[in-house]
Each structure stands twice: as structure tokens, then as C-alpha cells.
Amino acid sequence: MSQPTSETTGDIVQTMKDAQERAAVLAQALPFLRRYAGDTIVVKYGGHAMVDDSLSNAFGHDIALLKLVGVNPVVVHGGGPQISAMLNRLQIPSTFVDGLRVTDAAMVDVIEMVLAGKVNKQVAGLINQAGALAVGISGKDGGLIAARRLRRTVRDADSQIEQVLDLGFVGEPVRIDPRVLYALSGSGLIPVVAPVGIGEKGETYNINADTAAGAIAGAVHATRLLMLTDVPGVLDENGELIPELTAEEARRGIASGMISGGMIPKVETCLEAVRAGAKAAVILDGRVPHACLLELFTEAGPGTLIRGE
Ligand SMILES: Nc1ncnc2c1ncn2[C@@H]1O[C@H](COP(=O)(O)OP(=O)(O)O)[C@@H](O)[C@H]1O
Ligand SMILES: CC(=O)N[C@@H](CCC(=O)OP(=O)(O)O)C(=O)O
């Protein structure tokens, strides 16, 4: 009988070590698996995160795994870059106010096609390919997101007169009817929601995906709202990650300018979600592979946690 060479012995030792490390990670996850069993976790999946194939596949696997271990994930996706690409092809220019795309009647048709069509099916497909069953719907299905025209006001610096801005068919959720989510989740399926809402007269509204995810997380009393973004979380003046932020600290951070730009609506959405009924919200780095699993099932919890007051 031939003796294994030292190289193959080394390989075997390494394989055993890898397996032991994996087993240790699984064992560490057990208390977290118990903690979240049967809970609803809302995950906001942004359009930028979708363009990297290996990250997208890891995301699909994470969501499928959550369902398999007894958690009820609800995915709310964005699609800003995908909408911009289609509008560019159609030579329709976009303008943004405070990160919101000003949306006229012609644009809202294109936006609904992109969000509730291509992107919605693509995200559901990622999860399906990972072995779970996801169903793509829009906020118009089952009356999930009743919306109205968003009213934005700005104050003129000189005259101090307030002006109402017309953002067209940009909507804000007024009522969430979660029955369609419960029906799907209760049947072993994973709802994947496009952030499109329906108005009183049947008109369609384009809703910022963060806002839609926050409203849904509040309405279903989600245990966690996970907001995947392109930074490690909320950073302080020195660029260090803030692991936990109270509502008061968040308000001070916005007032001082420490929290600015796109992070303002994100933090405000988290505050609104916990006010409305979510237990906590986490802003975390979607560029890290398996960010959702790391957040939920390890001590490391890599992002910024925002709890209710
Ligand atoms: N204190 C802060 N901590 C982290 N990011 C911040 C902070 N203040 C402003 N930002 C900016 O907010 C951005 C995240 O918001 P946004 O670009 O709208 O995210 P997304 O496209 O994922 O929705 C970060 O890339 C960063 O440039
Ligand atoms: C009103 C508004 O701005 N709606 C967004 C909807 C998509 C979105 O929010 O996508 P991300 O999460 O990928 O940015 C838009 O038109 O781009």
C-alpha cells in the first residue's frame, strides 16, 4: 500500500482544519438561528449591488438560506441605475431632488416596466436559483402599498418663503396592507417587492426603495430591517463605523452634518421604521459577501444598528 506523500498529508490536514472552522461557524450560529426562527426580516437590496454577479449570487443564497432555517425574509429591491440606463436609451433625461428622481407621466410607465418587470424578476430569479421559491410582486399587487404624491417643501434662503416642489409621480406610502406578504410567506414563498405604489385613483407612483422597505418593515413589525448599501454603515467624523446609533444621536448627527447626502434619508427611514413597529434597523455594507448572514448569525454584526426609543 502506498504511503501518502507529505504534500497530500498536508492537504488532508488543511481540509480538516477548513471543515472544523466551518463547523465552528455553524455551531456559533445556533443561538442566532433560534432567536430569529419564525421572525420577519425585511431586506432592502439596492440597484448598485445588483451589478456584481458574484455578490448577487451570494445575496440570492443568503435569502434562500434564511427561509430554509425558518426565517421569513421579505426583499424590497431598488433599481436606480437600471432605470437610468433605460431612460438614457430612450433619451429621457433624469433630474433628482434630494436623491429622488423627478418623475413625469411618461417616465412612470418606463420606471414601472423596469422595476416591476426586469429587475423584479431578476431578483426573484437569484433566490430561485439558490433553491428557494421567490415570488416577484409590485407594491400595487394585493394593495400592498397605497401611496400619494410626495409633497416636498423648500425654504428660500433669502425670503424664507416655503415653496412646494412638484416631483410629479414620486409617491410616499400612506398605507401598507401586508396580507399578500403573509399569504406568500405563510405558504413557504419569499416575497420580492418592487417599490411601486398605487394611488386613490389607480395612478402609479415611483417610490424610493429605502422608503418602501422602511414602511413595509414597520407595518409587519419586522425583527430587523437590513439596509444594504455601499459603505460599512454610518461613519463618524473620523470615518470610523458607529456600531449603534440612538434616535437622539442620529438626529444630532444629521444636524451637525456628520450624516449627510444619501445617508440622511436612509437613517430617517430606519428611525421611521422602528417608530412604526420594526424592532431594529441595520445599515450595512452590501459589498461584503454574505452581509445578511454575517449580520444575523454571527457576533460580528458588521453594520450600524438603530433601535426604537
Ligand atoms: N456619516 C456617514 N456615514 C456613511 N456614509 C455617509 C455618511 N454621510 C454621508 N454618507 C454618504 O451616504 C452614502 C450612502 O447613501 P446612498 O448613496 O444614497 O446609498 P444607496 O445607493 O445604497 O441607497 C454613502 O456612500 C456616503 O457617501
Ligand atoms: C423616487 C425615486 O427616486 N425612486 C427610485 C426608485 C428606485 C430606487 O430607489 O433604487 P435604488 O435603491 O437602487 O436607489 C428611482 O427612480 O431611482
Domain ranges for the chain? 35-307
Q: How far apart are CA 264 and CA 280, in angstroms?
A: 17
Dist. CA 97 → ligand 1 center (Å): 16
Output the pLDDT for position 12: 83
To test the pocket of ligand 1, the residue of 77, 98, 230 to mutate (highest count of ligand atoms within 8 Å of its CB) is: 230
Q: Write the DSSP assignment of 120-133 as a string of letters.
A: HHHHHHHHHHTTS-
Known binder of ligand: residue 206? yes
Sign of CA dihedral 35, 39, 44, 45: positive
Output the pLDDT for position 8: 79
Known binder of ligand: residue 261? no
Output the pLDDT for position 7: 66
Nearest ligand by distance to the CA of 82: 2
Known binder of ligand: residue 125? no
CB of 112 closer than 8 Å to CB of 198: no
Instruction: Read off the C-alpha cell for 40.
Output: 420577519
pTM for the whole structure: 0.91
Q: How far apart are CA 174 and CA 171, in angstroms?
A: 9
Dist. CA 5 → ligand 1 center (Å): 53
**Regions in the chain scoring below 70 on pLDDT:** 1-7
Output the pLDDT for position 4: 56
What is the ipTM, given to two decimal places? 0.94
User: 35-307 maps to which CATH number?
Assistant: 3.40.1160.10
Verify whether ligand 1 is closer than 6 Å to residue 259 (CB atom). yes
Half-sphere exposure of 67 (CA within 13 A, CB side): 25
Output the pLDDT for position 261: 83
Pairing mode, strands 145-149 and 171-176: antiparallel
Give the pLDDT confidence of 169-225 residue by residue, as tens digits.
999 999 999 999 999 999 999 999 999 999 999 999 999 999 999 999 999 999 999
Verify whether ligand 2 is closer than 6 Å to residue 213 (CB atom). no
Q: How far apart are CA 76 and CA 81, in angstroms?
A: 16
Verify whether ligand 1 is closer than 6 Å to residue 188 (CB atom). no
CB of 202 closer than 8 Å to CB of 143: no
Q: How far apart are CA 171 and CA 206, in angstroms?
A: 6
Q: Write the DSSP assignment of the chain as a string of letters.
A: -PPPPHHHHHHHHHHHHHHHHHHHHHHHHHHHHHHHTT-EEEEEE-TGGGG-HHHHHHHHHHHHHHHHTT-EEEEEE--HHHHHHHHHHTT----EETTEE-B-HHHHHHHHIIIIIIIHHHHHHHHHHTTS-EEEEETTGGG-EEEEEPPEEEE-TTT--EEEE--BSBEEEEEE-THHHHHHHHTT-EEEEESEEE-TTS-EEE--HHHHHHHHHHHTT-SEEEEEESSSS-B-TTS-B-SEE-HHHHHHHHHHTSS-TTHHHHHHHHHHHHHHT-SEEEEEETTSTTHHHHHHHSTT--SEEEE--
To test the pocket of ligand 2, the residue of 208, 225, 230 to mutate (highest count of ligand atoms within 8 Å of its CB) is: 208
Sign of CA dihedral 213, 216, 217, 218: positive
